[in-house]
């Protein structure tokens, strides 16, 4: 699938620095948080100047729902995790982005949230490449 | 609007104890977290045995998107907050429920998340009644 980027959209530099590209869906760019404590994907709707979910158009809201649910199902399948945590916060990075995180009992900060906890622990490069390949396959094989 | 409750749906007892009823939308019951640190609403889809967003039917996913965005817009308007935080975690209470929280710079644990932080601080009864009345008005006056 090809990206369909709205004029004026540019990925936030902090998001870009903390994450690695996985693939592009119709509305969103999907990126992996470079933090090996949890398998953690971020969907960024390619829309300029949007900070809240409810500021998207109704069609974009519906697209985002389909894309987040597709990615969540794929992440759960690929990691065999116990629970998906998802959310949109945006207290630090203002550009609208939606988190989808694979959680397991006993993981770092369980059952607390992943946001704002401790320091990011980057993947080793080969582990990251392997996980991204696995996630790409899992997302691409989902149907909606 | 009348509740349309699926047979077998019962509100989780922990959710019921921590929150107070606000109103019913078509899919979700809307409740206020009884914690005066943040204006915090919870939407519970009235569906039995669902723990993940992506386990809802596509129609229920679409309904939930409309209802969460309606409630988020109303909460932002009613509280004049700086940012909405939203999410579905379910690490402690398994019944699917969606959080919508009004955040402001400098509020408790800003810019960190509300989940798992400190102890809940219940409203005084009259403050809670006043806030619930205001939120009911704001939600009822939204159009989708």
pLDDT tens digits along B72-85: 999 999 999 999 99
Which of residues 48 through 107 in chain B touch A, CB cutoff 8 A?
51-54, 58, 61-62, 64-66, 68-70, 72-73, 76, 83-92, 99, 103
ipTM: 0.94
On whether the CB atoms of residues B140 and B48 are closer than 8 A, the answer is: no
Residue B1's pLDDT is 46
Residue of B nearest to A58 (CA): B66
Q: Closest to A72 (Cβ–Cβ): which among B54, B72, B113?
A: B54
Please give the model's pTM, rounded to 2 decimal places.
0.95
B133 touches chain A (CB under 8 A): no
Q: Supply φ then ψ for residue B135, to 5 degrees.
A: -70, -40
Summarize the confidence of residues A66-76 as an average pLDDT: 98
Q: Which fold has domain B13-140?
A: HIT family, subunit A (3.30.428)
| A1 has a pLDDT exceeding 60 | no
Residue B109's pLDDT is 98
How many A/B residue pairs have CB atoms within 8 Å? Answer: 103
**Structure tokens, A47:** 């829309």
Beta bridge partners of B33: B19
Domain positions in chain B: 13-140
Q: Which of A14, A50, A53, A54 to mutate to test the interface with B (most CBs of B within 10 A)?
A: A54
Residue B144's pLDDT is 56
Q: Closest to A73 (Cβ–Cβ): which among B54, B87, B113?
A: B54
Q: Supply φ then ψ for residue B46, to 5 degrees.
A: -85, 65
Q: Closest to B91 (Cβ–Cβ): which among A68, A111, A144?
A: A111
User: pLDDT band at residue A7, thresholds of 50, 70 and 90?
Assistant: confident
**CB neighbour list of residue B35: distance below 8 Å, 6 or more residues apart:** B18, B120, B121, B122, B123
| A72 has a pLDDT exceeding 50 | yes
Report the alpha-carbon distance of residue A2 to residue B109 in Å, rounded.
Answer: 40
Is the link from the previous residue into A111 a cis peptide, with omega within 30 of 0?
Answer: yes
Q: Closest to A92 (Cβ–Cβ): which among B61, B91, B111?
A: B111
What CATH code would you report for A13-108+120-140? Answer: 3.30.428.10
A119 to chain B nearest CA, in Å?
Answer: 13
Summarize the confidence of residues B10-30 as an average pLDDT: 97
Summarize the confidence of residues B5-32 as an average pLDDT: 94
On whether the CB atoms of residues B34 and B22 are closer than 8 A, the answer is: no
Summarize the confidence of residues A61-89 as an average pLDDT: 98
Summarize the confidence of residues A74-98 as an average pLDDT: 98
A123 to chain B nearest CA, in Å?
Answer: 23
Residue B7's pLDDT is 79
Q: What is the pLDDT of residues B108-131, one digit of tens each?
A: 999 999 999 999 999 999 999 999
Q: What is the pLDDT of residues A87-141, one digit of tens each?
A: 999 999 999 999 999 999 999 999 999 999 999 999 999 999 999 999 999 999 9
Q: How many CB atoms lie within 10 A of CB A78?
A: 18
In angstroms, how far is the first alpha carbon of chain B from the final one?
Answer: 14
Region class of B29: left (phi > 0), else alpha (psi between -120 and 50), else beta: beta
Beta bridge partners of A102: A84
Cβ contact B91–A73 (<8 Å) = no
Q: Supply φ then ψ for residue A127, to 5 degrees.
A: -65, -40
| Residue % of chain B over a pLDDT of 70 | 95
Helix-, strand-, coil-residue percentages of chain A, each rounded to 5: 35, 20, 45
Instruction: Compute the mean pLDDT over every residue in chain B, rounded to the nearest whole number.
Output: 95
| Positive/negative CA dihedral, B4, B96, B76, B81 | positive
Cβ contact A86–B53 (<8 Å) = yes
On whether the CB atoms of residues B118 and B109 are closer than 8 A, the answer is: yes
Give pairs for A138-144: CB < 8 Å, separation 24+. A138/A74, A138/A75, A138/A77, A138/A78, A139/A22, A139/A23, A139/A25, A139/A30, A139/A70, A139/A71, A139/A74, A140/A23, A141/A74, A142/A70, A142/A73, A142/A74, A144/A66, A144/A69, A144/A70, A144/B58
Report the alpha-carbon distance of residue A20 to residue A33 in Å, rounded.
Answer: 7
């Amino acid at each position: 699938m090809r990206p369909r980027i709205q004029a004026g959209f540019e990925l936030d530099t902090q998001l870009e620095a903390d994450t690695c590209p996985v693939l592009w869906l119709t509305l969103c760019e999907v990126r992996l948080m470079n933090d090996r404590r949890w398998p953690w994907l971020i969907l960024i709707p390619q829309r300029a100047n949007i900070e809240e979910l409810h500021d998207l158009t109704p069609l974009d809201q519906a697209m985002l729902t389909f894309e987040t649910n597709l990615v969540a199902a794929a992440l759960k399948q690929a990691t065999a995790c116990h629970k998906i945590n998802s959310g949109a916060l945006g207290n630090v990075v203002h550009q609208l982005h939606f988190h989808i995180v694979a959680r397991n009992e006993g993981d770092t900060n369980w059952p607390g949230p992943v946001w704002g906890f401790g320091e990011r622990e980057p993947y080793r490069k080969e582990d990251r490449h392997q996980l991204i390949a696995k996630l790409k396959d899992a997302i691409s094989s989902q149907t909606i």
